[in-house]
């Protein structure tokens, strides 16, 4: 069986690596890796591939950034001839980025089997572009690999038949489990003993001047209590400069490779974020997480984990932070099947299905 993987952004790398590794142990499976180049920083992407032990892509489409429509269309235009030339038995797409949707649409038009890793996640907020990508990709997929029970329920509610749904656990946690011992040994490079780790990149938080200013003002207040360490997304830096916002003594650092950022999460007193993947990682690590969103497509992190949704409410953010600093923060647990073996379960499901691809 020939399996073709499509990745487009760094979160995809963390999800694809365990699946590629698990499939590499099966001599009956041949693999191809396509990188769309949706998010591409030559230095940082290379480090991610090295740290995750990912093979070099067989093809890089070099799409680059652009509007949602342009980027999706360009991935489709460049991916179609590659797919026709490679003729895989099944295409694996990951997560909810534009590359995921674009590849799914091309596979559907060419009638090539499609498998979606991290299927069934729903924020129920159609203003989020990622939600559209998730819903459409799931409707087009032949195999849907879900991380948790809520994913199964969402898919069944949307009319997906049970035989297409495979609850395998959280594949991104596989990468975390494998590299956590290395991350724990990373030097803190002069960071204080206690600090707040912040990430911020979603358009709803950074593209509106008033919203971004309100959040950064709240972070400046927090910084008086505990140092704020802020690996700033390029989009966020651009908006801060564009809006002329004073960031005071916030400690900005460049975006970090996977292992180094994982180390920061391990040692942080609390993480403040709007990232979906970080909600999951902090839940596994037991690190308190305050999410600057009013909804999440990862409800297991709220229901079972350490995650609390605070929206864009500075008072609620400060209140929850105070609870954490007083040792009264939320204590979480690790959801079922978030055990480092999701990639192996995906490989087994694909192996069992291979007879139908012959």
Query: 3-state class of 4 per DSSP?
Result: strand
Q: What Cα–Cα distance (Å) separates residue 226 from each residue in 70, 223, 286?
A: 42, 5, 19
User: Which residues participate in catalysis according to the annotation?
Assistant: 201
Q: What Cα–Cα distance (Å) separates residue 22 from each residue in 39, 144, 178, 340, 343?
A: 25, 18, 13, 11, 6
Query: 3-state class of 92 per DSSP?
Result: strand
CA distance 266 to 113: 39
Closest CA to 150 of 291, 303, 307: 303
Three-state secondary structure along 215-260? Answer: HHHHHHHHHCCCCEEEECCHHHHHHHHHHCCCCCCCEEECCCCHHH
Contact (Cβ atoms closer than 8 angstroms) between residue 35 and residue 61: yes
CA distance 266 to 284: 10
Residues in the chain, total: 358
Closest CA to 275 of 337, 190, 170, 198: 198
CA distance 38 to 71: 7
């Amino acid at each position: 069986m020939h399996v073709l993987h499509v990745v487009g952004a760094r979160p995809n790398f963390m999800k694809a690596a365990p699946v590629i590794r698990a499939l590499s142990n099966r001599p009956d499976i041949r693999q191809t890796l396509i990188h769309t180049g949706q998010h591409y920083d030559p230095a940082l992407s290379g480090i991610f591939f090295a740290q995750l032990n990912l093979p070099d892509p067989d093809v890089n489409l070099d799409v680059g950034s652009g509007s949602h429509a342009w980027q999706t269309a360009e991935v489709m235009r460049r991916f179609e001839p590659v797919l026709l030339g490679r003729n895989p038995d099944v295409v694996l797409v990951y997560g909810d980025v534009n590359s995921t949707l674009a590849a799914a649409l091309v596979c559907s038009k060419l009638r090539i089997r499609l498998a979606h890793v991290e299927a069934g996640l729903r924020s129920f907020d159609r203003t989020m572009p990622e939600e559209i990508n998730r819903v459409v990709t799931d409707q087009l997929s032949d195999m849907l690999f879900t991380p948790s029970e809520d994913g199964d329920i969402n898919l069944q509610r949307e009319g997906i038949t049970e035989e297409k749904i495979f609850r395998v656990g959280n594949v991104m946690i596989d990468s975390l489990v494998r590299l956590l011992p290395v991350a724990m040994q990373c030097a803190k490079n002069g960071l204080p003993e206690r600090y707040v780790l912040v990430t911020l990149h979603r358009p709803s938080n950074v593209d509106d001047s008033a919203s971004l200013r309100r959040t950064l003002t709240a972070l400046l207040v927090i910084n008086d209590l505990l140092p704020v360490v802020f690996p700033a997304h390029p989009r966020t830096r651009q908006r801060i400069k564009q809006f002329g916002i004073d960031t005071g003594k916030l400690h900005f650092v460049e975006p970090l490779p996977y292992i180094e950022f994982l180390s920061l999460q391990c040692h942080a007193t609390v993480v403040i974020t709007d990232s979906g993947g970080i909600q999951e990682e902090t839940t596994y690590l037991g690190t308190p997480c305050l999410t600057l969103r009013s909804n999440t497509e990862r409800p297991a992190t709220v229901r079972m984990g350490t995650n609390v949704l605070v929206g864009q409410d500075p008072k609620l953010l400060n209140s929850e932070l105070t609870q954490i600093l007083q040792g009264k923060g939320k204590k979480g647990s690790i959801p079922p099947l978030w055990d480092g073996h999701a990639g192996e379960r995906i490989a087994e499901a694909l192996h069992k299905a291979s007879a139908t691809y012959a």
